[in-house]
Structure 1
Amino acid sequence: MKQAYQDFKPWLRLLLRRRQRFLLGAILIWVTLIAGLSLLGLSGWFIAACALAGIALAAGLPSSLDIYVPGGGIRFFALLRTVVRYVERLYNHNTVLTLLADLRFRVFGYLTHLDDTSLRRSRAGDWLSRLTADIDTLDNLYLRLLMPPVVALLCVLAVPAFIAIWMPGVAIIVVVTLGALWLMITLGSAWLGFANSYQQTSDQRELRHLVLDQVQASAELMSYRTSAWHQQKISCQEVHAAANQRRLVFKTALGNAAVSLVTGILVISVLWVGSVAMLEGHVSGPILVMAVLILLGVNEAFSVLPAAFVKLGASHAAVKRLNALSTSPANLGKITLPTSCSGPLVSLSNVSFRYPDMLEPAVNTVSLTLPSTKRAVITGASGAGKSTLAQLLMGRISPTSGEVSVSDCAPCEVLADSRAANFAMLSQQVDLFDGSLAENLRIANPDANDEQLWRALAQVALSDWAQRQPQQLDTPVGEKGQQLSGGQARRVALARLFLRSPNMVLLDEPFAGVDAQTAKHIAHSLDQWLGNKTVIYFVHQVDDVSLLPGVEFYWQLDEGRLITDTGMHNPLPQ
């Protein structure tokens, strides 16, 4: 239990940042419940009092009853319950959505500090699961594990206190019984369903992975005639998950049955003890009816607890997975690079890098030196290790062996903000977001004005196209840039680089997806912009030397090893 509390502690602290919203939400739930109990109890009292008054009048006995005050009270509580419930639903759902946004922001922050090696240890679907499914599971923590128990506990105190006005002995029975029920349902349900709900999270994750594998690798599975085997594996996992879920539902039903049983016995006990008190003249019949109906209504406060606490294990599993992100090796860095107007000296000494679970290193004993403000090109076929080498220079991954140095600093030890200010890279993967053209450009420089944006677009030969669009800079690019062609999306990513002033620039296939004329325009823009920066081009092969002006160093990668053509300091072959 202590370990579970430690696991939940960081997320509970996050909740306490919005404790006013949490408390107000709990109060709204409590007021809604009290209004419902008051409506039920007062209605019961009013009906019973009217019945007794009618019997008395029919028997010729004098009787009087004020119907206006209780009638007004019934209307008041009915209206109060409706209005407060509506406000409570709006307010608490807004609170939960806000808390989920806080959670996703924190988890996404953890992910941004992980290097590429750590990210590759899990599938993309697994990271997405942590951002969605695991965080959504914590919805159960805030909305069902914290608010309802607090509200139920307040009812355990409020209802007996109200009954004690007329029947103190009955109130003692009620508070002891309801208190014991509260402990039994919260702690008992959590203990009873912890293992099954914990397992449910693992079952769902495994089933999700198997289904995604079936879809993504369908061609390979069909080629090797293993589709039926894999489908059978999915079916077995479904059967296993369904069996565990049935056990969980059964335990939830046990909790609900316990609530109904205890509250039913409590109602019968109160009715019996209250009847004795009524016969002795200590309490009137309508008051007894009111007390019994209020206790029947208390069932509403307890009925939501079993299903919530049975799933405590699922919340704990999600929390442990999210906590693992905060304790993962983070590429935070400790060094700030000096700001200068010239590019840095780049040096690699016997650098090797092997991805987890790979037999061969992606980069193998690479050594090179690129003087400050010079330009180089590294060629190689797909899979030769060019992108891995670029990631090493950017500090996104750390070498398995050897040393990488930029301005006499290991890039992986440089602070993220300092790296962002000094290094820039155009990767093969283009990241565009579902926003406008201007919003995607301003990712590189939030303070850039429209004139700077148009200048950057002109440098990549996109300004004419953008001006022809009805919304111009406000043109939506679609999710992942789907509204643009591949070449246009790549040029938008390149335009973002022109909005920055880095000292070292890495360009991975900068002319991919464009025609020869556009490539020459971009090459000319790059030549002017690169100036006295340290530059490395990563390309498959050099087809047109004029696209790489100013390049003085030429290397070639082959299966992770560096091959030099006739001398490291020779210019590009003509």
Structure 2
Amino acid sequence: MTKHPMRSHSELDSAARHAPAFRLRDMFKPSFDLWLISWGLGLITALSMIALLMISGWFITGAALAGMIAVGSHSFNYMLPAGIIRMLAMARTAGRYGELMVSHHAVFDLLKTLRLRFFNRLAALPLTQQRSALQASQYMHRLVSDIDKLDEFILRVISPWLIGGLSVLLLGLFIGWALPIASSFKLIIYVLLALSLVIALLASYNGIAQAKQLSQVSEARRQQLLSPLAIITQLLLWQQWQTQTQGYVAQDNQLQKLQWQAQKRRSVYMLLIQWLFYLAVLTVLFAIYSVTQGGSETTLLPKLQSVIEVPLVLAVTLGLLGIQEIVVPLGQHYLALGNSIAAKDRLNDLLSSSRPTPTPNQTGQAGANTNTNTNTGTVSTSAPKPLHRLPQAPLQAELIYVSAKIEGALVGAKEVSVTVNSGTPLIIKGPSGCGKSTLLQALAGELPLQSGEIQLNGKNWFEYDWQDQLGYLGQQLDIFDQSLAANLRLGKPEASDEELIAALDKVGLLGWLQAQPQGLDTALGEYGAAISGGQARRIALARLLLKPRRVLLLDEPFAGLDAPTRAQLWQNVREHQQQNLLIVVSHHQWDMGLCDSISLPETQL
């Protein structure tokens, strides 16, 4: 999430505060022309399918009757209906293919636009307001999954309702025009067709609350599992896994219960819609029977033909049966509207800047608002009162009985006291689950302090105007589906190719770069899928090393590296940060030179 380099933090924060809340109708703006084309092709597909059934039934029945009744066999036109059937079959196939192509293109364009919009707004908000209830990985998962779920509003609500409603309307008009039956029967048929849409509409309306409940329970279930998984080894060793996962099991049982209820309601709605169409078919047949009532068995067929064409009756019947494929899914996907609304509400809630800023007693940060760029690790702050400028003199950071814990986590950093000086790296060691990464998150401003204080040259750490002078490499990396150069320039937009190559050389990736046919234009894939985890971590680190920063916080920068590469990388990072603060979390042990170190004890439950 990259902030515009020419805009100040106050301007970005002001823009985020005054940005309008996201509305579902905003989804049509990026590609409204494509959606119009998609809906037109979808309507052609639906009408071609219904007309194909109706004309095929009419043609087969008419041909059979022409063969049975010698008087009319010589006048029956076989060629025209056959040609229309072939034309409709081709229209159905071409319309369906075209609709899929256009709608998929529109969906991808929509997702791209939504992601850019929300990520830009996220980058402009104070971090303490963004993440008052979520840690970074949970936040990103929730943000991405909700954006991806928004497309249900168009694909499963707007498009099916638009096509289904018009199809029912046109079929109803055809029945009223073509069938010479009593007006009372026509009215009954219209009412049954309208009820099929009303039931689907009521189902969607009632599904809003149910979809929100499903979403809440699903998210709670996920959160109940994430915290124990983070320390699964310790819980298994201490035989606490069953105890600590009881909340997850309860949420899982509740979710299964809600899903079963949703499935039963879905089946009921689909069945009711189908019954209404069957009743419409029976009404048509009974109306035809009423028209022909009174004729003898020998004169029934001629009388029926004189009053109404038998092929037409079959065509209408097949049309009513065929249109179910269009209307029944409206009941099947009755939760789609609720899912879209729930996703929209969660996104607006996450990106809302109206939450009150935590007080000093709540955060231990003197009420400072912290804004972190997760691509570059940059942390900037803004507060109502003027912030201190970073001193030009050597820095000294002091942690005084600092305790911090991710909300919902069982363990965290507890009462940590240590001093860090410019030019002397601090290595944070300790067993898994002792709070090393949590402590680094607190320093980066991603977590509020539970207690204690962090000072920089005698003043509160969070009262400084960091701007882009604090770099943070966390465990969760942001590698986007862009070129290597584009990912690196998130750390320094104006960096030249030579600077990018120099940064890659510092992290030991120059040889790998030279082996890539496309060089800096090499695509990294979504979430860095085209590269290894170790390469992704070093690319993220190279992004930080593109320019000097007064403070550098690195969480396991040597993961996945062999000993020679690890030693060379450490030497390069030390040289880069030799005049500034460097704090590293690492479980690797070797001769790292002159360093301060602190070992966090294993936290007891």
User: Distance between the aligned counterparts of 2:58 and 2:221, measured in 1?
Assistant: 55
- Aligned equivalents of 1:539 and 1:155: distance in 2? 64
Length-normalised TM-score, structure 2: 0.68
Secondary structure in 2 matching 1:246: helix
C-alpha contact (below 8 Å) 1:436/1:473 kept by paired residues: no
Task: For 1:113-262, list aligned pairs within 5 A.
Answer: 113-115=125-127, 118-119=130-131, 121-123=133-135, 126-167=138-179, 169=183, 172-187=187-202, 189-213=203-227, 215-229=229-243, 234-262=248-276
Measured in 2, the distance between the counterparts of 1:260 and 1:489 equals: 53
Matched residue of 1:146: which SS? Answer: helix
Kindly indicate whether residue 566 of structure 2 is the aligned counterpart of residue 505 of structure 1: no
Letter in structure 1 aligned against 2:54: G
Tell me which amino acid in the other structure corresponds to 1:80.
Answer: A
Given that residues 444 and 496 in structure 1 are in contact (C-alpha distance below 8 angstroms), is that contact kept between their aligned partners in structure 2? yes
Shift of 1:355: 4.8
Measure, in 1, the Cα distance between the counterparts of 2:584 and 2:275.
74
**Amino acid corresponding to residue 224 of structure 1 in structure 2:** W
Please say if 1:20 is aligned against 2:66. Answer: no
Distance in 1, matches of 2:316 and 2:291, equals 13
Residues 132/291 of structure 1: CA separation in 2 closer, same or farther (3 Å cut): same
Give the Cα separation in 1 of the matches to 2:337 and 2:46. 24
- In 2 relative to 1, CA 62–236 (structure 1 residues): closer, same or farther, beyond 3 Å? closer
User: Contact conserved, 2:156 with 2:336, CA < 8 A, in 1?
Assistant: no
Match of 2:317 among 292, 296, 318: 292
Q: Provide the rounded CA distance (Å) in 1 between the counterparts of 2:73 and 2:538.
A: 94
CA shift for structure 1 position 96: 2.6
Q: Distance in 2 between matches of 1:140 and 1:250?
A: 21
- Aligned position for 2:6: none
**Residue by residue, what CA displacement relative to the aligned partner does 1:36-87 show, whole Å, maximum 9, x if unpaired?**
1111111111122212211211xx6775101101110011111111121122
- Sort the Cα spacing of 1:363 and 1:24 in 2 relative to 1 into closer, same or farther, 3 A: farther
Structure 2 residue 103 is matched with structure 1 residue 92: yes
Helix, strand or coil at the partner of 1:145: helix
CA contact (8 A) 2:426 2:583 kept: yes
**Residue number among 581, 586, 589 corresponding to 1:536 in the alignment:** 581
Amino acid at match of 1:226: Q
C-alpha distance after superposition, 1:348-400 (max 9, x if no partner) = 999998757699998999999x9xxxx67685866999999988897767899
Q: CA deviation at 1:238?
A: 3.6
Shifted more, 303-312 versus 98-107: the winner is: 98-107
Contact conserved, 2:39 with 2:163, CA < 8 A, in 1? yes
Specify the alignment match of 2:56 in structure 1.
43
Output aligned runs, 1:475-554, within 5 Å: 495-497=542-544, 499-500=546-547, 505-508=550-553, 535-538=580-583
For residues 424 and 226 of structure 2, the distance between their equivalents in structure 1, rounded to whole angstroms, comes to 39
Range that drifts further, 433-442 or 135-144? 433-442
TM-superposed CA distance for 1:523, in Å, is 5.1
CA contact (8 A) 1:386 1:557 kept: no
Post-superposition shift, 1:525? Answer: 5.7
| Aligned mates of 2:167, 2:139 — CA distance in 1 | 41
- How far apart, CA to CA, are the structure 1 residues paired with 2:102 and 2:290? 45
Contact 2:404 2:439 in 1 (8 A): no
Q: Distance in 1 between matches of 2:436 and 2:257?
A: 49
Aligned position for 2:91: 80
Q: 1:316 to 1:47 in 2, by over 3 A?
A: same
- Within a 5 Å distance, the mapping from 1:392-411 to structure 2 comes to none
Sort the Cα spacing of 1:16 and 1:405 in 2 relative to 1 into closer, same or farther, 3 A.
farther
One-letter amino acid of the structure 1 residue matched with residue 100 of structure 2? R
| C-alpha separation in 1, matches of 2:75 and 2:533 | 85
Residue 159 and residue 90 in structure 1: after superposition, are their counterparts in 2 closer, same or farther (change >3 A)?
A: same
Partner of 2:343: 318
Structure 2 counterparts to residues 386-465 of structure 1, below 5 A? 419-420=467-468, 423-425=469-471, 427=473, 431=477, 433=479, 438=485, 440-457=487-504, 460=506, 462=508, 465=511
1:265 matched to which residue of 2?
279
Shift of the 253–495 alpha-carbon distance from structure 1 to 2, 3 Å rule, reads closer
Give 3-state SS (helix, strand or coil) of 1:144's partner: helix
Relative distance call for 1:525 and 1:99 in structure 2 (3 A) is closer
Please tell me whether the aligned partners of residues 398 and 412 of structure 1 are also in contact (alpha carbons under 8 angstroms). no
Gapped runs of 5+ residues in structure 1? 1-6, 549-554, 560-574
Is the deviation greater in 345-354 or in 46-55? 345-354
The answer to whether the Cα contact below 8 Å between 2:192 and 2:279 also exists between their aligned partners in 1 is: no
AA in 1 matched with 2:277: T
Structure 1 residues 218 and 495: CA distance shift in structure 2, 3 A: closer
Distance 1:512 1:482 in 2: 20
Q: State the alpha-carbon separation in 2 of the partners of residues 432 and 135 from structure 1.
A: 17
Q: Is the 8 A contact 2:440 2:555 kept in 1?
A: no
Q: 2 CA distance for matches of 1:472 and 1:96?
A: 29
Per the alignment, residue 34 of structure 1 pairs with 47
Per-residue Cα deviation, 1:79-113 (whole angstroms, up to 9, x for no partner): 11112112222322333333333333344345444
1:262 CA displacement: 0.7
Please say if residues 466 and 473 of structure 1, whose CA atoms lie closer than 8 Å, have aligned partners that are also in contact.
no
**8 Å contact kept, 1:380–1:386:** no
RMSD after superposition: 5.2
**Structure 2 CA distance for aligned equivalents of residues 104 and 252 of structure 1:** 31
Q: What is the SS of the residue equivalent to 1:165?
A: helix
Q: Which amino acid aligns with 1:185?
A: A
Deviations 1:101-144 (A, max 9, x none): 33333443454445167537324553244134433433432211
Report SS of the residue matched to 1:507.
Answer: strand
Q: Does 1:303 align with 2:328?
A: yes
Q: Give the CA deviation at 1:405.
A: 9.8
Q: Partner amino acid for 2:82? A: G
Alignment partners' CA distance in 2, 1:483 and 1:521: 22
In structure 2, relative to structure 1, the CA distance for the partners of 1:233 and 1:467 (3 Å cut) is closer
- Partners of 2:475 and 2:22 lie apart in 1 by 38
The alignment covers a number of residue pairs equal to 521
Asked whether the 8 Å contact 2:507–2:541 carries over to 1, the reply is no
Report if aligned partners of 1:436, 1:476 keep a CA contact under 8 Å in 2: yes
Whether the aligned pair in 1 keeps the contact of 2:45 and 2:95 (CA below 8 Å) is: yes
Partner amino acid, structure 2, of 1:137: K
CA contact under 8 A between 2:370 and 2:382: conserved in structure 1? no
Give 2:69's aligned amino acid.
Answer: A
Q: Secondary structure at the match of 2:157?
A: coil
Which residue does the alignment assign to 2:119?
108
In the alignment, is the contact (CA less than 8 A) between 1:157 and 1:175 conserved in 2?
A: no
| Segment drifting more, 472-481 vs 441-450 | 472-481
Contact 2:128 2:370 in 1 (8 A): no
Q: Alignment identity in percent?
A: 25
Q: Which amino acid aligns with 2:492?
A: N
Residue identity matched to 1:452: E
Q: Which has the larger radius of gyration?
A: 1
Pair 18,334 (structure 1): closer, same or farther in 2 beyond 3 Å? farther
CA offset at residue 449 of structure 1?
3.8
